Structure 1
């Protein structure tokens, strides 16, 4: 008997994303008309919302895969909470509240004043956001680097895509804290290249990013240990939920900051990136329900390589600007190659299994 999930079409997973796209683009066009009073302004706002949505999707392929990997271990209750509350936090928290908080802290003003600044003086608002880019990139890059390295420095990991790299990393995983040492060495290298206040800000933000990752890991382990004493129905998954929210935030840092290169309008940025976030949510649900990660054995590897590259790019962006399009296309290309490798593996495996299956069938018939 075919399960409802198995028979569900790919397009059906994106129905909400399509609806949000239509509504978001219409709202963006309205903002453009309301702000400028011209059809040119309307078309520009519409186009920027569409470009930001595509940018967010391209930057978040790996995010969806990592989310799906963590979600499959969570209880259905916490899966539902992440996919409902999580999207609210992702759209409103990271795309609206986070930029306002950065400006409020950097300019020493209250959040309401920051909101008024975004609405009335978008150029000044954008300048403050750009000025805060270095510590944000250092924090997010460190957190993401720890996520990627922890995946590969795992002595229990027995499926390897790029064997000569991953086998060595799995072998050295028996050395306690090797991934932390690697990150700290990289932090010291970048700190030595930067000058004065930039070096100090980078160092402090990187340490905070590292501590945040370690604290989340400790909290998740503590909660998981305490949940083992509960019944299966009562187990939650708050630790995993918290980990995914911080992970989502780290992925969002680069997109939110980079969006100001296209427009200084906070609300258009929120609409465009919010549309993209809905597609990430839809992709995550599809990957979990269809078991795509289990079927394509190297897809997860591609996502974590993309995370490592993104983390390094965020570090490099503290020295020089790298267009977000390059970041997004690089991650998407890695995931595409890993998908292609998975399909090739499945075909080779199917061909190798065919003679054995034929022999077993002949025996059964005999």
Structure 2
């Protein structure tokens, strides 16, 4: 669902334009991502879940378990997304109301309750950020199952990863890196869908952790180098344009 919601949105910057452009047009259809997710879930339950392996090599019909888990995950994702959108709208309403009251206070000369307005805006911002944090936590925990089923390793990895990612995110924001390497977001979402496919396949077949890790690293690395090539091409085009302008001025 994270990948589908990303790929069905029409964006100004496209990495794999041959794929993203037609999918963005399909994204205009309401609830398309939910329908595709349910179809994939149904197919996975019928194909992988019906012939899943138990410990010891025996076969077991896990179609019901796959369907139950998938529907529960889908409901959770939609609830978190709905709450996120609700709090975001509320925050925008509070900001607009605060702006209107500021203008009215400036017109009439009456003091406004800055504490109340700031408190309400901060409250909705807090709820909005908490819901966003919950959504990323769900994503991280589910993705960890694609690497290992050891709870201790998962807890250590997610804990270290949370601290590292936070520091890395703050650094990237301050340096403006994500604005320079515009395809990194695309690469991350393609890595997410790769993990999703691997998780579905591992219902029946075992996939080595090295393969799972390398797939994500390869996609993000590919997007990084694509961003570097794009920046170099833009810089070369800009330099050529300036050279042409200088030549035209000298000629005239």
The two structures have a TM-score, normalised by structure 1, of 0.54
User: 1:214 and 2:78 equivalent?
Assistant: yes
Structure 1 residues 202-351: aligned runs within 5 Å: 202-231=66-95, 234-235=121-122, 236=125, 238-255=127-144, 258-260=147-149, 266=152, 270-271=155-156, 273-351=158-236
Cα RMSD of the aligned pairs, angstroms, is 2.6
What residue is the counterpart of 2:34 in the other structure?
Answer: 180
Offset at residue 222 of structure 1 (A)? 1.2
In structure 2, the CA distance between the partners of 1:346 and 1:305, relative to structure 1 (3 Å rule), is: same
Provide Cα deviations, 1:243-298, integer angstroms capped at 9, x if missing partner.
3323223322343684456xx8x3x6644553343222222222222221110111
Which residues of structure 2 form unaligned runs of 5+? 51-59, 99-117
Q: Determine if contact 1:224/1:237 at 8 Å carries over to the other structure.
A: no
- SS in structure 1 at match of 2:21: helix
- Distance in 2 (alpha carbons) for counterparts of 1:258 and 1:342: 27
Worse-superposed segment, 226-235 or 192-201: 226-235
Offset at residue 355 of structure 1 (A)? 2.7
- SS in structure 1 at match of 2:94: coil
- Distance in 2 (alpha carbons) for counterparts of 1:172 and 1:219: 25
Q: Determine if contact 1:216/1:239 at 8 Å carries over to the other structure.
A: no
Offset at residue 168 of structure 1 (A)? 0.8
What residue is the counterpart of 2:62 in the other structure?
Answer: 198
Q: Number of aligned residue pairs: give it.
A: 216
Q: Determine if contact 2:183/2:226 at 8 Å carries over to the other structure.
A: yes
What residue is the counterpart of 1:353 in the other structure?
Answer: 238
- Distance in 1 (alpha carbons) for counterparts of 2:172 and 2:87: 26
What residue is the counterpart of 1:153 in the other structure?
Answer: 8
The two structures have a TM-score, normalised by structure 2, of 0.76
In structure 2, the CA distance between the partners of 1:270 and 1:178, relative to structure 1 (3 Å rule), is: closer
Rg bigger for which structure? 2
Offset at residue 361 of structure 1 (A)? 5.7
Q: Determine if contact 1:310/1:327 at 8 Å carries over to the other structure.
A: yes
In structure 2, the CA distance between the partners of 1:214 and 1:272, relative to structure 1 (3 Å rule), is: closer
In structure 2, the CA distance between the partners of 1:153 and 1:362, relative to structure 1 (3 Å rule), is: same
Offset at residue 174 of structure 1 (A)? 0.9
Structure 1 residues 77-96: aligned runs within 5 Å: none
